[in-house]
Amino acid sequence: MAFANQLIRRLPVWAVYLLGALPAPWLFYLGLTGGLGVEPIKALEHEYGKLALQLLILTLAISPLRRLLGLNLLKFRRAAGLLCFFYVLCHLLVWLVLDVQIVSQILTDIAKRPYITIGMGAFVLMLPLALTSSNLAVRKLGRAWSRLHRLTYAAAVLGAAHYVMLSKGFQIEPLIYLGLVLFLLALRLAGSRWLRQAAGVGV
Amino acid sequence: AQAELALAEQAGADQALEPNTWEEVTSYCNFYEFGTGKGDPSEYAGRMTTDPWSVAIDGMVDKPGEYSFEQILGEMTLEERIYRFRCVEAWSMVVPWQGFELADLLTLAGVQEGAKYVAFETLYRPSEMPGTAYKVLDWPYREGLRLDEAMHPLTIMATGVFGQPLPNQNGAPLRLVVPWKYGFKSIKSVVRITLTDQEPPTSWNMANPREYGFYSNVNPDVSHPRWSQASERRIGGGLFARRQPTLMFNGYEAEVAALYEGMDLSEYF
């Protein structure tokens, strides 16, 4: 783990931002050129949405990874969180501009369709988190910052539920995402003490 | 049959029906027995054995039994039907099918007095169908029609697209096509047809009765609980495709509206 942590220390954060953002234009290019199949709008929407969920899960995993396995990815947590928000934004824009297109239908969808209401809810919860991600905000808000950023938990549950609810039939993949989110939250709920003991780390 | 072909063409007179491409029709499919992704069927359906193939026709018929695919082809006259295809997920295509009228096949088997419904079943063969490892639906896939819907001249059993035999992902070797209903009613790779006097259980209705009714007629005024059905996106328009309004009964209102006279279509959705 020490070796891994050393590697992580050498990797600059800007590189993570760059690598993390690259799939957005790449997927858009694939959509334009047939690389996402014959229905690129839905495909692009889903790809962006899934990347957002994956980054959300990574964000949630960073603290338990450090606590339980000693793997320190803390310096990338803000990048992961902001990239997640970036993909949520991409996902939302594809839905608004390319998919639904019709303003009245967009409003009806948000109000009447629970999975969209929930998805929008997750987006709204993430807004203040993205807006208070700077060092300045962290300093100014102090303890309130940590409390505010627990909204991540709610956003994660809503985001994963959004995926489960939009699927037709009993599908496995969205349930895996929801399961991971709930597992990572349960790790926090269970309290750190016995978990630390169980893992034999930092007792 | 010629008259009915004209009928089918007339139904699309308000907008010329320009078929989608072979690639679009054969690469973007829902066939959950091979996975829930749109590309899964074209990737995995190749392993499905379709020869030999037979269809059990049973229930309230004079001549129940196993009808081999060859035997059926020998008795039926194939014709082309270019139909709109509207998925319940609000996308659509135009598909040039080849097939025969279901009515002809049912007449061959001899429909008995008192039969009111037709039930259909898709092949269920886990060894060749990786998607059935998960209980996405209660396999085997089942569908059903009222007898008058089944006997309607627009209702066909398709055996081909674009003049080619049906690719496996499109429901080889023979499938139902009911152009005024959402696509999932048009059950693929049919192995059983049962005449009955009871409304048969159907897969999506069993999975979620609030969202998928037995009738599932294309209807822009009755939205799916999770999305609007007022508009649809025609496959093939690329990343900037516009939506188009969905037509009542998918554009076949003149031909089929009489079947539902007096029925509240928001109740019998």
Q: What is the pLDDT of residues B128-167, one digit of tens each?
A: 999 999 899 999 999 999 999 999 999 999 999 999 999 9
Residue B15 has pLDDT above 60, yes or no: no
Q: Which of A38, A100, A108 sits opposite B236 (nearest CB)?
A: A38
The CA distance from A88 to B86, in Å, is 29
User: Where in chain A are the domains?
Assistant: 2-197
- The number of beta carbons lying within 10 Å of the beta carbon of residue A103 is 9
CA proximity to B185, closest of B164, B168, B171 = B171
Residue A202: alpha-carbon gap to chain centroid: 28
Q: How far is CA B203 from CA A91, B88, B207, B222, in A?
A: 31, 14, 6, 20
Interface touch A39/B242, C-beta < 8 Å: no
B86-137 per-position pLDDT tens digit: 999 999 999 999 999 999 999 999 999 999 999 999 999 999 999 999 899 9
Assign A193 a pLDDT band (cuts: 50, 70, 90): low
**CA Rg value for chain A:** 18
A93-116 per-position pLDDT tens digit: 999 999 998 888 888 888 888 899
CA proximity to B249, closest of B234, B267, B229, B228 = B229
Query: What percentage of chain B exceeds 90 in pLDDT?
Result: 91
Report which secondary-structure segment, H or E, holds B231: strand B231-234
B21-41 per-position pLDDT tens digit: 999 999 999 999 999 999 999
- DSSP SS3 for B82: strand
Give residues with Cβ within 8 angstroms of A128, minimum separation 6: A148, A151
Best residue of B31, B226, B234, B235 to probe chain A, by most A CBs closer than 10 Å: B226
Interface touch A170/B134, C-beta < 8 Å: yes
- Kindly report the pTM of this predicted structure: 0.88
| CA count, 13 A, side-chain hemisphere, A92 | 20
Residue A39 has pLDDT above 90, yes or no: yes
DSSP character at residue B188: -
The answer to whether the CB of B182 falls within 8 A of the CB of B218 is: yes
* Contacts by residues B47-54 (CB-CB < 8 Å, ≥ 24 positions apart): B47/B128, B48/B123, B48/B125, B48/B128, B48/B129, B48/B168, B48/B172, B48/B189, B49/B125, B49/B128, B50/B168, B50/B172, B50/B173, B50/B189, B51/B173, B53/B173, B53/B174, B53/B191, B54/B191
Interfacial residues of A (vs B; Cβ cutoff 8 Å): 28, 31-32, 37-42, 44, 98, 100-102, 105, 108-109, 113-115, 165-173
